[in-house]
């Protein structure tokens, strides 16, 4: 939009841009013909044209004295009992994507709905499946004296498992997620920065991935991956920024045979497109595989179940797959990802919010010391599947429809 304002029609209409730089074309899914502009094309030309109107300075060029950042992948196998559901869903997703790629799909099927529903389920199942291994990894790192590190996660499931690990290891920790008011976050940051007994910061990728300085940490652990490589790199840089005097080691915990495998490949594809467009060269999340002997114990981790001390007793139904994804207050307001793309989605969301407000009782304001008003702010549990996993995504429409309203989408 900004470029279009300064240089009107420099890249043509939205349709022109989509065809030339987004590999825009029609795809057939059975009898359905859908417009697909999710790809990339002619990136060298796009970079050249952008470089004529954009000044770009990279962090490595400006902060030349900043210590290096070293990424490592920690791939591990899950126990059969923990990986059963996640592996089954992943195999189903692979079959579905192969069918979509070959055009073999039922005429009555809605490929977008199928993929989105399956992606949402896999993302949650992977969090539950690997939570036990993540707990063990955190405990292992806490055995090293004076080591301070950050742990990033997305789902409430994983954040809870990480919190349990710190409590069971009797280590000092802070936790920042969507339920923590902005006014309290700086106090927690100052505590982590100045208190040597506070060993680990448990952070939501969305709520704490930007704007915080946590240079007291020398290690960053990603318990889960996220859809956007920009969010990932911003989270890494909570520790790798001005004020850091030591090398920063970034560890990505990737469970084999789960949705982690697909997400890691997707993140690197996106990073390649971004690097080619903005910097004129292909870039990747370069992460060498770590020393296998040091993390082989993760292959024998027990399946995780939530600790009763962290569950709200009045809502501890025993179905942890529901209880731990959302707080009891927030769960009533959650909606299927498909509602984002339905005409009445926003109305339904508002209706759920009003209903949740009316049904909140005083007994529901205890929890872990967080009020119901604060828990309303929790955002990290709202999973937003990436368009890489959808057959046509939001661009699944006739390109000739309302071209003027979409003319500035690329900006």
Of 186, 217, 187, the closest CA to residue 200 belongs to: 217
- Give whichever of 57-61, 191-195, 284-288, 401-405 has the largest mean pLDDT: 191-195
Where does 2-148 have alpha helices with state H?
2-6, 14-21, 43-51, 59-62, 80-102, 111-142
Greatest pairwise CA separation for the chain in angstroms: 63
* Residue ranges of domains in the chain: 2-59+396-406, 66-300, 308-389
Q: How far apart are CA 239 and CA 213, in angstroms?
A: 7
Mean pLDDT of the chain: 76
The tens digit of pLDDT for each residue in 186-242 reads 999 999 999 999 999 999 999 998 889 999 999 999 999 999 999 999 999 999 999
The tens digit of pLDDT for each residue in 105-156 reads 554 555 667 777 888 888 988 999 899 999 999 999 999 888 999 999 999 9
pLDDT at 398: 53
Q: How many CB atoms lie within 10 A of CB 328?
A: 19
Question: Would you give the distance in Å from CA 89 to the centre of its chain?
Answer: 19
Q: How far apart are CA 381 and CA 330, in angstroms?
A: 9
Q: How far apart are CA 11 and CA 20, in angstroms?
A: 9
pLDDT at 30: 63
Write phi, then psi, for 314 (nearest 5 degrees). -70, -15
**Pairing assessment for the beta strands 198-204 and 288-289 based on DSSP bridges:** unpaired
pTM: 0.72
CATH class of 66-300: alpha beta
């Amino acid at each position: 939009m900004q470029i279009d304002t300064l240089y009107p029609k420099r890249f043509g209409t939205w349709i022109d841009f989509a065809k030339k730089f987004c590999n825009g074309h029609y795809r057939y899914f059975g009898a359905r013909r859908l417009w697909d502009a999710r790809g990339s094309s002619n990136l060298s030309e796009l970079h050249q044209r952008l470089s004529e109107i954009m000044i770009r300075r990279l962090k490595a060029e400006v902060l030349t004295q900043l210590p290096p950042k070293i990424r490592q992948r920690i791939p591990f196998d899950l126990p059969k009992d923990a990986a059963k559901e996640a592996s089954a869903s992943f195999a189903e997703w692979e079959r579905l994507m192969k069918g979509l790629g070959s055009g073999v799909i039922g005429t009555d099927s809605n490929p977008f709905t199928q993929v989105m529903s399956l992606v949402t389920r896999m993302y949650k199942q992977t969090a539950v499946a690997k939570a036990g291994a993540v707990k063990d990894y955190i405990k292992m790192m806490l055995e090293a004296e004076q080591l301070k590190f950050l742990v990033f996660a997305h789902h409430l499931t994983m954040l809870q498992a990480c919190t349990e690990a710190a409590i069971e290891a009797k280590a000092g920790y802070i936790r920042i997620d969507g339920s923590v008011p902005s006014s309290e976050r700086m106090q927690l940051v100052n505590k982590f920065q100045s208190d040597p007994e506070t060993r680990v910061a448990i952070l939501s990728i969305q709520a704490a991935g930007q704007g915080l300085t946590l240079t007291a940490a020398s290690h960053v652990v990603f318990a889960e991956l996220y859809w956007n490589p920009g969010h990932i790199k911003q989270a890494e840089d909570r520790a790798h920024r001005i004020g850091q005097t030591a090398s920063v080691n970034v560890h990505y915990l990737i469970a084999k045979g789960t949705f982690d495998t697909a997400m890691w490949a997707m993140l690197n594809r996106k990073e390649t497109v971004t690097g080619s467009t903005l910097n004129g060269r292909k870039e990747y999340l370069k992460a060498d595989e770590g020393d296998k002997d040091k993390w082989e114990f993760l292959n024998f981790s027990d399946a995780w179940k939530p600790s009763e001390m962290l569950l709200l007793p009045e809502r501890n139904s025993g179905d942890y797959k529901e209880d731990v994804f959302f707080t009891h207050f927030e769960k009533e307001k959650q909606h299927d990802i498909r509602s984002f793309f339905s005409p009445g989605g926003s109305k339904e969301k508002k209706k759920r919010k009003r209903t949740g407000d009316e049904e909140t009782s005083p007994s529901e304001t205890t929890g872990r010391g967080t009020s119901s008003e604060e828990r309303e702010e929790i955002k990290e549990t709202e999973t937003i599947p990436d368009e890489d996993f959808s057959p046509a995504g939001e661009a699944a429409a006739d390109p000739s429809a309302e071209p003027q309203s979409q003319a500035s989408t690329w900006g």
